[in-house]
Structure 1
Amino acid sequence: MIKEVIVVEGKQDVQAVRRAVDAECIITGGFNLAPHTLERIEQACSKRGIIILTDPDSAGERIRKFLSKRFPEAKHAFIPKEQATANNDIGIEQASGDAIRSALAKVRYLEWKPKVEFTLVDIMSSGLSGVPDAAERRAKLGAKLGIGYANAKTFLYRLNNYGVTRSEFDEAIINLEHNELEAAE
């Protein structure tokens, strides 16, 4: 059983998580978090810790940002958009058990004192912005690093605030470029 309580958006998300792992979940019910829901999340956070696992879409990101501000000690798990898409729908409920387990294995913390390890120069020189396939490269790299897909600005924020090390980043970039070369051959 996972020690932390997993915070998800809906009932179907809970079903998908429970098919993948043995864990307790709390449902936000979308962005309109009721006071009693926030109280339950706060209790879970103080007693067991929480893992925020929201949908890889704009609504899920808004919920994640809100909860991150309110619960800065929360852990974060991200499922890549392509692994959470089925039947013309994006969400945790669409993800496979393997995708959920993989995301939970790469849990990240929002660091209290973020370091500025990465800059826009790193993003640009790594082809994560300013080139035609930048969004696709960020999606692949985000999945590898466990920080999810984001636009260039948010991706840079996550690199600096979710404990990604320079060696992790460099290794992931090398693997990404190696995979791209193999695919081109």
Structure 2
Amino acid sequence: MKVTLRGMVIKKIKEIIVVEGRDDETAVKKAVDAEIIITHGFGISAKTFERIKQAKERCGVIVLTDPDHAGEQIRKRIDQKIPGCKHAFIPRNEATYKDDIGVENASPESIIEALNKAHAVTTEKVITFSQSDLVRNDLIISNNASERRDQVGKILGIGYGNAKTFLKRLNGYGITREQFEEAVRSLK
């Protein structure tokens, strides 16, 4: 049976979604039908890490943290302790209300789009992209580099990052040269 929300089908997600707080959980449940694990912020307990590990082994995990520094730190801690989780990113401008940045501010459509573009970190160390790719495509050392990285990150579903983080995500999430070039072309 299909359930709709304002004319859109609520998608059933097989993976467990990891979010930071209760308000994030509420926002995600408005967008999709999924089991959710809440980290309760940066102080993730050993019990929560164990739940995430078991969920990853059972059906997979998608980490969906806030597009801010704290969210990025939580994402890194989870990835260090439980490698192989998928990562979904909501662009900052789609997760901001007034001065508050967080998943809880994103629309159901933004949450669904982020989950649809979730990427797993590749286990093999493959260097497809270098800083010269970023320079050549005005993603660093240009007046609008930050904005361009934000836009390309949204298109590719890897989120915003400074140059170093962006390059790491391009190489770590298995983005192909063709996907990258298509995303950059779409900006022009």
Q: TM-score normalised by the shorter chain: which range applies?
A: over 0.9
Residue identity matched to 1:75: K
Question: For residues 125 and 112 of structure 2, what CA distance do their matches in structure 1 show?
Answer: 27
Within 5 Å, which residues of 2 pair with 1:17-166?
Answer: 17-166=28-177
SS in 2 for 1:37: helix
Unaligned runs of 5+ in 2: 1-11
Contact 2:88–2:119 at 8 Å: present in 1 too? yes
TM-score, with structure 1 as normaliser? 0.94
> Alpha-carbon deviation of 1:16?
0.2
1:9-58 per-position Cα deviation (integer Å, ceiling 9, x unaligned): 00000000000000110000111011111111111111111000000000
The residue that corresponds to 1:181 in the other structure is none
CA distance in 1, matches of 2:67, 2:172: 18
Q: Which structure features the higher share of helix residues? A: 1
Per-residue deviation, 1:130: 0.3
> Is there any run of 5+ residues in structure 1 with no aligned partner, and where?
178-185
Task: Give the whole-Å Cα distance in 1 for the aligned partners of 2:155 and 2:16.
Answer: 24
> 2:93 & 2:105 partners in 1: Cα distance?
10
1:6 has 2:17 as partner:
yes
Alpha-carbon distance between aligned partners in 1 of 2:112 and 2:125, rounded to the nearest angstrom? 27
Stretches (4+) displaced over 3 A: none
User: Match for 2:43: what amino acid?
Assistant: N
SS at match of 2:83: coil
State the distance in 1 between where 2:125 and 2:88 align: 18
Alignment partner, residue 3 of structure 2: none
3-state SS, counterpart of residue 56 of structure 1: coil
Compare 39-48 and 92-101 and name the one that shifted more. Answer: 39-48
Give percent identity, aligned residues only. Answer: 50
* TM-score, L = length of structure 2: 0.93
Q: CA RMSD in A?
A: 0.7
As a proportion of its length, which structure holds more strand?
Answer: 2
Aligned length: 177
SS at match of 1:176: coil
Deviation at 1:114, TM superposition (A): 2.6
